[in-house]
């Protein structure tokens, strides 16, 4: 079945064959050309696409192998989503050790992109909590991968963008929580320096830290925003049941992006000013705290038929302050603005994957409606700033970085290359290897 | 705790239904052809909260093995509250038209075997048990695209209607499930449109229909309306249309 494949950014749209995987014990189905595993399509750009090739759709591998409610050790197939894990484990007192901003990623996708969350400064990336997994290669071999093995396949596959083979199942260590509640504190700050001060102060006191930035503010307000810090908190286990599936949904794709010059400025202004007091504390349910956008199904449609482009970069600590300021300045100057600009300081725990994105420094995530060449030109200018600061752009969110930038920012690509399954490739990989 | 026997357990709809019962803490007995997949499923359902009493390998076309499966299920579960017969294939109409062997086998898989299992199981069920069987909207009227499959499902539907009457006084409910288009491995090669449902959606409908002791459940519900229209098209018109 040839289908137009889509990633979460809805750009690019490419055609490929989609073959479902339904039984982890079976050999891979026959395919022509390049193959690439596909989970739940939450990567933003083309790292989960394979133009003119085959996508091995692994969402059907959604079975548990074992779960020990005493130790929190979970073994499941790679197509199980974080949402499903939470449904199972939270009632028994366990939570994901690391989670990105959507719970609709699969375990396989989380490993392949070595995802991170707001607690990176404490618990590192998802890959740090993976005990082992099985890798099914196109030659039919099955390899149990553990960290530090001489074959290097664990380190190649964590953050390996699906290129080393199909992850069939994985064993993950969950973490204990007192319940579904989060004790949160939101602090308004007026400039970028305040962000760095708050971040330094909070990294030892709070497990989760992140900031939202008004990226249209400039001058002395450059980098103003809200700093959000939180911890798991005990609470009434039975209090306020929250619907697990979203009832709000974008029913269709509007003909134009709803995020545009007319809406961005008021949105960012209102978001900044919605909190009148400088500090606000609250008890928040984990779902709206971790996954605010999951509350609106298919929210990516609001960017219209041309989709949107994400840009997430990390800048090393030495260049973080000036680099972030330069990026925000560049964006403010372009007037294009981002609906959500997210800023966070990573911790020092070295990532396990050869191509893992998280590294010490400050990360900034942005998204821009695809308005054509002007946005691509802006993104190239942002890449130039990142490049000069010695930073890196996140492959899971990228649809356009240059091969030169990728190879410089991910210097272990040459060490990684021999681990690629000889019959696997992706749109992203072919693009950055050109 | 509900005790549930599922035949054709590895089918997508059956597996989704098994998960729904697992989350309620049911005791399950799983029957299917593919032994490794049955054990994969059993482990999964245990994690999801079921107590899996056992699995049993059976090809429903081996009629002389039905009795052994049924006694194994009753031995494992003690007594049974819910039986779901869910196995099926989607045969290629052209292949059935050119090979008697294929046609007979497909009719057996989708029709006769289901009826024989229903007969054998019905005699052991005690009130207030439910026998739920997956038939199909395709059994409501023969259509050129798949009338061998349709006639086998039609036979099942008619048989269940009679069985429901005959068991009514005993307090055992017979539920005929008629799914429309479902996005499963069985229909992998079809182009999917707005009428297509996910197996999880069908499973929720099945569990509700069993809970409410319904007689017939079109799933999703709008297929009832569609089939009323299709059934009522006069034959002189119907024979001219491609469906």
Q: Which domains does chain A have, with CATH numbers?
A: 64-177 (3.30.465.10), 181-409 (3.30.70.2520)
Cβ pairs bridging A and B (under 8 Å) = 29
Ranges of chain A with pLDDT below 50: 241, 243-245
pLDDT in tens, B50-73: 998 899 999 999 999 999 999 999
Please report the ipTM that was assigned to this predicted complex.
0.90
Sheet with A142-145, strands from edge to edge, namely: A64-68, A73-77, A166-173, A130-136, A142-145
Report the pLDDT value the prediction gives residue A3, as an integer from 0 to 100: 60
pLDDT score, position A245: 47
| Chain A interface test: which of B35, B47, B199 (most A C-beta within 10 Å) | B47
| Closest CA in chain B for residue A21 | B185
CATH 3.40.50.720, domain B3-238, yes or no: yes
What tokens does A54 get?
A: 């085959």
**CA of A79 to nearest chain B CA: how many angstroms apart?**
13
Q: Taking phi first (over 0 means left), then psi (-120 to 50 degrees means alpha), and beta for anything else, what does residue A179 get?
A: left
How is residue B215 annotated by DSSP?
A: S
> What are the backbone angles phi and psi of residue A87, rounded to the nearest 5°?
-60, -40
Output B114 or A240, whichever has higher pLDDT.
B114
| Contact predicate B76/B53, CB 8 Å | yes
pLDDT value for A241: 45
- Residues B150-178: tens digit of each pLDDT: 999 999 999 999 999 999 999 999 999 99
| Calpha distance A348→A92 (Å, rounded) | 31
What are residue A219's phi and psi, to 5 degrees?
65, -135
pLDDT of residue B23 exceeding 90:
yes
Residues of chain B positioned with their CB less than 8 A from the CB of A168:
none
Tens of pLDDT, residue by residue over B181-240, are 998 877 777 777 788 999 999 999 999 999 999 999 999 999 999 999 999 999 999 999
Q: Is B40 in contact with A67 (Cβ distance < 8 A)?
A: no
Q: Angle formed by the axes of helices B147-168 and B113-122, to 10°?
A: 10
- Partners of B161 in beta bridges: none
CB contact under 8 A, B40 and A1: no
Structural domain boundaries in chain B: 3-238
Task: Say if residue A155 is exposed, middle or buried (CB neighbours under 10 Å; 0-12, 13-18, 19+).
Answer: buried
Find the CB nearest B185 among A20, A64, A88.
A20
């Amino acid at each position: 079945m040839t289908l137009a494949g889509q990633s979460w950014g809805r750009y690019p749209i490419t055609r490929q064959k989609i073959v479902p995987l339904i039984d982890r014990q079976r050999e891979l189905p026959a395919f022509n050309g390049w193959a690439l595993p596909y989970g739940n399509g939450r990567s933003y750009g083309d790292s989960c696409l394979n133009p003119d090739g085959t996508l091995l759709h692994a969402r059907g591998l959604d079975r548990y192998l074992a779960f020990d409610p005493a130790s929190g050790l979970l073994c499941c197939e790679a197509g199980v989503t974080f949402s499903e894990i939470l449904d199972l484990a939270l009632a028994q007192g366990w939570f994901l050790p690391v989670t990105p901003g959507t719970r609709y990623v699969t375990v396989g996708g989380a490993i392949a992109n070595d995802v991170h969350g707001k607690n990176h400064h404490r618990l590192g990336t998802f890959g740090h909590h993976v005990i082992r997994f099985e890798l099914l290669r196109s030659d039919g071999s099955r390899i149990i991968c553990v960290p530090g093995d001489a074959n290097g396949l664990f380190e190649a596959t964590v953050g390996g963008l699906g290129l080393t083979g199909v992850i069939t199942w994985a064993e993950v260590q969950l973490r204990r929580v007192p319940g579904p509640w989060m004790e949160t504190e939101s602090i308004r700050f007026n400039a970028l320096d305040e962000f760095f001060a708050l971040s330094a102060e909070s990294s030892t006191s709070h497990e989760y830290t992140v900031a939202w930035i008004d990226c249209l503010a400039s001058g002395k307000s450059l980098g103003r925003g809200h700093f959000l810090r939180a911890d798991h908190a005990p609470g009434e286990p039975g209090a306020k049941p929250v619907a697990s599936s979203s009832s709000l949904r974008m029913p269709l794709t509007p003909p134009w992006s709803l995020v545009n010059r007319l809406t961005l400025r008021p949105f960012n202004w209102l978001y900044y000013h919605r909190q009148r007091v400088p500090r606000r504390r609250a008890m928040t349910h984990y779902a709206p705290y971790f996954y605010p956008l999951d509350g609106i199904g298919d929210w990516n449609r609001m960017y219209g038929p041309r989709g949107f482009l994400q840009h997430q970069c990390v800048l090393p600590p030495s260049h973080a302050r000036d680099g972030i300021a330069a990026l925000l300045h560049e964006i403010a100057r372009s007037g294009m603005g981002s609906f959500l600009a997210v800023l966070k300081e990573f911790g020092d725990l070295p990532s396990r994957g050869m191509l893992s994105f998280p590294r010490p420094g400050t990360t900034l995530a942005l998204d821009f409606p695809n308005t054509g060449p002007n946005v691509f030109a802006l993104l190239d200018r942002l890449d130039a700033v990142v490049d000069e600061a010695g930073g890196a752009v996140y492959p899971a969110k990228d649809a356009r970085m240059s091969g030169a930038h990728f190879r410089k920012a991910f210097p272990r690509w040459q060490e990684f290359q021999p681990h690629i399954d000889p019959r696997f490739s992706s749109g992203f990989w072919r693009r950055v290897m050109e | 705790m509900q005790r549930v026997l599922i035949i054709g357990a590895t089918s997508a709809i059956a597996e989704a239904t098994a998960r729904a019962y697992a989350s309620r803490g049911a005791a399950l007995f799983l029957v299917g052809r593919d032994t490794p997949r049955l054990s994969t499923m059993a482990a999964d359902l245990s994690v999801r909260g079921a107590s899996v009493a056992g699995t049993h390998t059976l090809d429903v076309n081996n009629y002389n093995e039905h009795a052994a499966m049924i006694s194994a299920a009753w031995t494992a579960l003690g007594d049974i509250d819910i039986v779901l017969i869910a196995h099926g294939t989607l045969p290629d109409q052209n292949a059935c038209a050119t090979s008697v062997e294929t046609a007979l086998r497909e009719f057996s898989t989708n029709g006769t075997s289901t009826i024989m299992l229903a007969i054998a199981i019905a005699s052991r069920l005690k009130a207030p048990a439910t026998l739920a069987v997956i038939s199909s909207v395709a059994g409501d009227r023969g259509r050129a695209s798949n009338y061998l499959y349709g006639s086998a499902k039609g036979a099942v539907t008619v048989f269940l209607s009679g069985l429901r009457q005959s068991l009514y006084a005993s307090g055992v409910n017979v539920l005929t499930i008629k799914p429309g288009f479902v996005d499963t491995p069985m229909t992998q090669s079809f182009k999917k449109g707005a009428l297509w449902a996910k197996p999880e959606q069908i499973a929720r409908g099945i569990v509700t229909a069993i809970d409410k002791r319904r007689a017939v459940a079109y799933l999703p519900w709008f297929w009832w309306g569609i089939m009323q229209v299709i059934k009522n098209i006069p034959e002189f018109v119907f024979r001219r249309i491609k469906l």
